[in-house]
A and B are shown apart, each in its own frame.
Chain A
Amino acid sequence: MTTTHRRQLPKASLLALGAAGLVAGASIALFWPRPSEFRLTVLPPGPVSPDFRLVDFDGQPRSLADYRGQVVVIFFGYTRCPDACPAALFKLAQVMKRLGPASAQVRVLLITLDPERDTPQLLKSYVTAFDPRFVGLSGTTAQIDQAAASFYVAHFKAPTSNDYYAIDHSTATYVIDAQGQRRLIGAMNTSIDDFAHDLKLLAGRLKQGASS
């Protein structure tokens, strides 16, 4: 009795195991997170959509929607920033060079966190020194705060002496796709290669979308 039972049990359990294996395999195939094709950190869409209502350095009102159809790269900084901002912009200038013709689909924006001291003229001479295609945006303190909040960018005024202040700020670089969705986030140590790789991917999709 026990022996037959023993003989049948393995059969049943093998079947059950096989079925379980199939289910497990199928669910792994379906739900296992696919490795990202991107090298930068991929951002899930947040509850707040990135947006801004600012003015460019030529006095033109600008919102994120104006750049729909282009891959937009945004860095928040200020011209009196000692090293993080020039390093980030210099890197993005090299990324643009690396992109070659694909750079036509990419727009790099610097949003100043220091609208009081960064005049449009200063902003223009500053950002275009890195790449003549770069655009600097400014606005009222309230507009800047709103723009920064929609990107979850933290920024604080930090007085360093009687007549000088620095601005503590997030040093992330944000990549917005052609549909205005926040897609990727780069860091200070993200390489030129990785930026160029991901921007090329997004810009390539743009071309395919346009031709179909």
Chain B
Amino acid sequence: MYTHIHRLTFLLALAWVIPALAADQRTGSLTITQPWSRATAPGAAIGAAYFEIVNAGAVDTLLRIESPIARQVEMHTSYTEGGTMRMRPVTSVDVPARGRVRFEPSGLHVMLIDLVRPLRKGDRFPLTLVFQHAGPVRVEAIVQDLGTLIPPWREGHGQ
């Protein structure tokens, strides 16, 4: 009985703590750090999501991303050429051995096409990153303010 109560409080405490720590997700040698997204204006069809993949092991490939927040999820890359911002789809992303890949504004990003609901600051939604070797890795993206280019935890660290 006593241990049961302890177990219960432990589980309750865990349930309380896990969402706060949901920012990082480790699977095998891969760590997906602090996935985030940006609030969208009412009616906006598109959202974007970003994160960093840190690979402590052998080379892997990110094949696709799934999320119930949008009807279609794609990986795109943006780049500036002669003052023009261009965007192209990416079919897969290689994660080098003992290396890292960053999804960030004006670079690689997750395109959430046809959002099922607007993204509001503070909301969380799941993203599943499907890797060739590591398989699916589920993370939770935290929605930041409208127009955010640098998430609060990276401010002052440059871009």
Chain A residues engaging chain B, CB cutoff 8 angstroms: 79-84, 86-87, 89-91, 93, 117, 121-122, 125-127, 129-130, 154, 158, 160-161, 164, 166, 168-172, 188
**Are B41's CB and A126's CB within 8 A?**
yes
**Are A87's CB and B41's CB within 8 A?**
no
B87 within 8 A of A: yes
Beyond A82-B78, A84-B106, A93-B147, whether A158 also contacts B88 by CB under 8 A is yes
A130 and B103 alpha carbons, distance in the complex (Å): 25
Could you say which residues of chain B place their CB within 8 Å of the CB of A117?
45
Beyond A158-B87, A160-B87, A164-B113, whether A82 also contacts B46 by CB under 8 A is yes
Main secondary structure of the interface of B (DSSP, over half): strand
**Are A90's CB and B146's CB within 8 A?**
yes
Beyond A86-B146, A161-B72, whether A80 also contacts B45 by CB under 8 A is yes
Could you say which residues of chain B place their CB within 8 Å of the CB of A80?
44-46
Main secondary structure of the interface of A (DSSP, over half): mixed
A82-B47, A82-B105, A125-B43 known; 13 new pairs, CB 8 Å cut-off, are: A79-B44, A79-B45, A79-B46, A81-B46, A83-B105, A122-B43, A122-B44, A126-B41, A130-B147, A158-B87, A161-B72, A170-B84, A172-B83
Q: What distance in Å separates the Cβ of A65 from its nearest Cβ neighbour in chain B?
A: 27
How many residue pairs at the A-B interface have CB separations less than 8 Å? 98
**Are B147's CB and A90's CB within 8 A?**
yes
**Are A129's CB and B41's CB within 8 A?**
yes
Q: What distance in Å separates the Cβ of A56 from its nearest Cβ neighbour in chain B?
A: 17
Interface string of B81-118 (1 = CB under 8 A from A): 00111111100000000000000011001010100000
Interface size on B, residues (CB 8 A): 32
**Are B88's CB and A84's CB within 8 A?**
no
Could you say which residues of chain A place their CB within 8 Å of the CB of B109?
82-83
Could you say which residues of chain A place their CB within 8 Å of the CB of B40?
86
Interface residues of B in 34-54 (CB under 8 A from A): 38, 40-48
Chain B residues engaging chain A, CB cutoff 8 angstroms: 38, 40-48, 72, 74, 76, 78, 80, 83-89, 105-106, 109, 111, 113, 145-149
Can you list 15 A-B contacts with CB-CB less than 8 angstroms, sorted by A residue number?
A82-B47, A82-B48, A83-B106, A83-B109, A84-B78, A86-B41, A86-B147, A90-B146, A90-B147, A125-B43, A127-B41, A129-B41, A160-B74, A160-B87, A171-B83
Could you say which residues of chain A place their CB within 8 Å of the CB of B42?
125-126, 129
Q: Which of B47, B84, B113 contacts A168 (CB 8 A)?
A: B84
A171 and B83 alpha carbons, distance in the complex (Å): 7
**Are B74's CB and A91's CB within 8 A?**
no
**Are B41's CB and A79's CB within 8 A?**
yes
**Are B147's CB and A160's CB within 8 A?**
no
A41 and B112 alpha carbons, distance in the complex (Å): 35
A160 and B74 alpha carbons, distance in the complex (Å): 9
Q: What distance in Å separates the Cβ of A157 from its nearest Cβ neighbour in chain B?
A: 11
Q: Which of chain B's residues has its CB closest to A163's CB?
A: B72
A158 and B85 alpha carbons, distance in the complex (Å): 11
Could you say which residues of chain A place their CB within 8 Å of the CB of B87?
82, 158, 160, 166, 168
A158 and B43 alpha carbons, distance in the complex (Å): 22
Could you say which residues of chain B place their CB within 8 Å of the CB of A125?
41-44
Q: Which of chain B's residues has its CB closest to A83's CB?
A: B105
Q: What distance in Å separates the Cβ of A129 from its nearest Cβ neighbour in chain B?
A: 4
Could you say which residues of chain A place their CB within 8 Å of the CB of B88?
158, 160
Q: Which of A83, A161, A164 contacts B38 (CB 8 A)?
A: A83
